[in-house]
């Protein structure tokens, strides 16, 4: 029997093969590969999709976060509050801009615990970065209110939450800037690296447009030290194809999650909890198990791959040893890092494969 992998990007391609190939050929034959009509069209379509006024394509999700931090004015000494249990790119976006991350604990939904935001605020706090981890939306109205009360900027890391709503509004549009990644495995994935920011602020839009292109909006007139971080024409054209199908792709992920919810009934396994009012677009379907290593081995024996998002929380990574945050400082974050496990979840996972995953999980006896 074939191994069930944690993702199958080939299936994502073949589903819309003709459309992808037509778009790729159009770009190849156009003679224009960077900053052209395809990017403009995608930026317009993605802004419309999210409900934001503007979208600016960039090279990847990390750059989206970094450029967002620069645009809101994060610099040396500024603190940004962020949940401890996130992908390290959220944190690198902050520190690349010169900021200092201040980690807070997550709630039972793996989102930033809104009760703990205010206690992390100091006179150096400049912003809050919310991560809609695994595809579930955080409690955005409450977070907006906290930011407003304390005069803080709000950045959303939406790298895992394309299309997810809270209170009828799409993630990425609650704060000052929403940051997206189009890494191939994301819910809206490119065929290479890609990213974007969305914002309702003309000033932030203009600033990030300038920053992504060597700090210039007029060619060879460089106003500041920027970067080279552009979403190329090929990726923009391919993303425009996938974006047209986002609704059905998200529905498919939700249906797969519902089947896992209904099928998994092993008391040794904790299924994901969904907050009332939140939407979950299931970038990952993340379970928890106290004896994770044994479960991973058991699944592997049944031909099922799994992956841990993420085994080392940023504050314990070597990269951030300089922050001097010792093990034990964030017990909830660290407990999640020791117990979470992502099971196969992707567009194109078949019913038969999913049944095998469910049977294997239910057959785990500890």
Ligand X SMILES: *Cc1c(COP(=O)(O)O)cnc(C)c1O
Decide if 103 contacts 130 (C-beta within 8 A).
no
Nearer to ligand X, 50 or 181 (CB): 181
Nearer to ligand X, 195 or 226 (CB): 195
Q: Give the C-alpha separation, 91 to 102, whole Å.
A: 9
Secondary structure (DSSP) of 206-244: HHHHHHHBTTEEETTEE-S---B----HHHHHHHHHHHH
Bridge-based pairing of strands 195-199 and 177-181 is: antiparallel
Closest approach of Cβ 131 to ligand X, in Å? 5
Half-sphere exposure for 131 (CA within 13 Å, toward CB): 32
Closest approach of Cβ 226 to ligand X, in Å? 18
Nearer to ligand X, 83 or 199 (CB): 83
Q: Give the C-alpha separation, 253 to 249, whole Å.
A: 6
Q: Give the C-alpha separation, 136 to 273, whole Å.
A: 10
Residues engaged in binding ligand X (CB under 6 A): 60-62, 86-87, 89-90, 131, 157, 159-160, 181, 183, 193, 195
Nearer to ligand X, 114 or 161 (CB): 161
Closest approach of Cβ 361 to ligand X, in Å? 24
351 by DSSP, 3-state: which?
helix
Residues 6 or more apart whose CB falls under 8 angstroms from that of 121 comprise 81, 150, 152
Nearer to ligand X, 58 or 360 (CB): 58
Closest approach of Cβ 59 to ligand X, in Å? 8
Closest approach of Cβ 135 to ligand X, in Å? 10
């Amino acid at each position: 029997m074939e191994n069930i992998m944690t993702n199958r990007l080939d299936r994502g391609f073949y589903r819309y093969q003709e459309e992808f190939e037509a778009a790729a050929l159009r770009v190849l034959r156009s003679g224009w590969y960077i900053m052209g009509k395809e990017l403009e069209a995608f930026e317009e379509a993605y802004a419309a999709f999210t409900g934001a006024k503007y979208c600016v394509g960039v090279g990847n999700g990390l750059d989206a976060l970094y450029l967002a931090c620069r645009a809101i004015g994060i610099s040396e000494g500024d603190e940004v509050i962020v949940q401890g249990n996130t992908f390290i790119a959220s944190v690198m976006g902050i520190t690349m801009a010169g900021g200092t991350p201040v980690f807070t604990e997550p709630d039972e939904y793996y989102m930033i615990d809104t009760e703990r935001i205010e206690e992390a605020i100091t006179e150096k706090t400049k912003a809050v970065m919310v991560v809609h981890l695994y595809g579930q939306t955080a409690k955005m109205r409450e977070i907006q209110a906290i930011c407003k009360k304390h005069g803080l900027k709000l950045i959303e890391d939406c790298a895992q939450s394309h299309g997810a709503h809270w209170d009828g509004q799409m993630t990425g549009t609650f704060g000052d800037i929403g940051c997206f990644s189009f890494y191939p495995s994301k819910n809206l994935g490119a065929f290479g690296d890609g990213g974007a920011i969305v914002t309702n602020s003309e000033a932030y839009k203009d600033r990030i447009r300038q920053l992504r292109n060597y700090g210039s909006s007029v060619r060879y007139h460089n106003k500041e030290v920027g970067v080279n971080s552009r979403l190329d024409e090929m990726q923009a054209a391919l993303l425009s194809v996938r974006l047209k199908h986002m609704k059905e792709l998200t529905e498919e992920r939700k249906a797969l999650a519902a089947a896992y919810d209904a099928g998994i009934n092993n008391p040794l396994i904790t299924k994901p909890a969904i907050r009332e009012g939140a939407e979950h677009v299931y970038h990952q379907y993340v379970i928890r198990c106290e004896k994770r290593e044994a479960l991973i081995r058991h699944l592997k024996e049944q031909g099922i791959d799994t992956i841990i998002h993420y085994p080392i929380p940023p504050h314990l990574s070597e990269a951030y040893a300089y922050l001097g945050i010792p093990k034990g400082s964030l017990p909830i974050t660290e407990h999640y890092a020791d117990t979470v496990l992502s099971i196969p979840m992707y567009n194109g996972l078949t019913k038969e494969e999913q049944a095998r995953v469910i049977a294997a999980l239910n057959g785990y006896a500890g």
